[in-house]
Structure 1
Amino acid sequence: MQLSKQVAFHKVMGDPTRIKIVYLLQEECLHVGAIAGKLGLSAPTISHHLTKMKECNLVFSRKEKNTVYYHLNKKVLAHHGSVLQQFAQEGKGDVPVSDKVLKEKQKVMNNFLEKNGRLKNIPSQQKKKLFLLEHMVEGLKVGEKYPEKEVNEYIKQFHDDFATLRREFIIHQFMYRENGIYEVNPKEMWASSKLYVAEEG
């Protein structure tokens, strides 16, 4: 899962009232008035919180006769928890690097990069694409905040289709985007990091 989706989810859940709503909906589906009564808040306030929770698919509504009931999407809640655990597991310890993979990466660099460093084309094969994306993003600094325009100009050094490559940076977790500002993720999160695990035997 993209980091931006995880961040969006946890931003929504970074509110005590919404956490209380989750607890209530774990037990039973409830309408706005019932939730408001249990929490001692106004119905409009509860409606606002539920709208935010619906945006990240944490709750869904069903109409029964004239009343709208809200249900907790337990699968989504469990999924976000498991993704966090996965991030933690993937970040543990040093990853042994396979010489075979390093040679393979160098071969991809030789085949897809011009002498001036520009991409001949964007490979369709996932593994080759990840090697090249990694090569490109390594020129950016971790901890630096980059406006989208600056990211576009940087990518243009390698290829004119900056929109596609910028999107690939996000999809494969090389970068994180929020409000048009981009940051490089830790290398442990890059999709390419999984390619370097040494083969057993």
Structure 2
Amino acid sequence: MTEAHLSTLLAFFKAMANESRLRIVGLLAGRERSVQELAELLALKEPTVSHHLAVLKDLGLVSVRAEGVTRWHALKPEALTRMNRALLDGAGVAALAPKSETWEEKVLATFVGPDGALKVIPASRRKRAVVLAWLARQFEEGRRYPEAEVNETLQRRHWDSATLRRELIGHRMLAREAGAYWRLPEGDWAAG
């Protein structure tokens, strides 16, 4: 979500969190009205109503047309519809959440260098399981690999391919038979 979109949503919620503005929107939903008429209906002073209308106009929720000396204000329902779609769109709502790293991403950032090489094999079982899952995903599911290719792939990440191979098999991430290795489905992997 862009900063501009977030800013618009915040302004919308701030504007609509005011009881007088909500009542004005309700009154304008029925028909266009003048400042004087709104002030009378809401028991507010005209400058106060003008201020609220200016806020709603800045959000694009209200339009104004002049007729002689009177200014008529009307609700722009398409603006509410557009805002509603933005609010109810699943991706839009999810984008409101701050971008944060998952625990697994933090573990990988700690143990994997910028060059993609494993700095050290974690001592903690839980952290090691995260690193092993990352390594297992280096292999395609459904493909058989000769041991030399498994070693080569693992050695690009860490020099101790024998330990990593054993760990991957022990965690049921890879299987081995007659010198061939293959990746097992993630649902079968042993937890850390």
Shorter-chain TM range is 0.3 to 0.5
Q: Which has the larger radius of gyration?
A: 2
Q: Larger relative contact order (C-alpha < 8 A, sep ≥ 6)?
A: 1
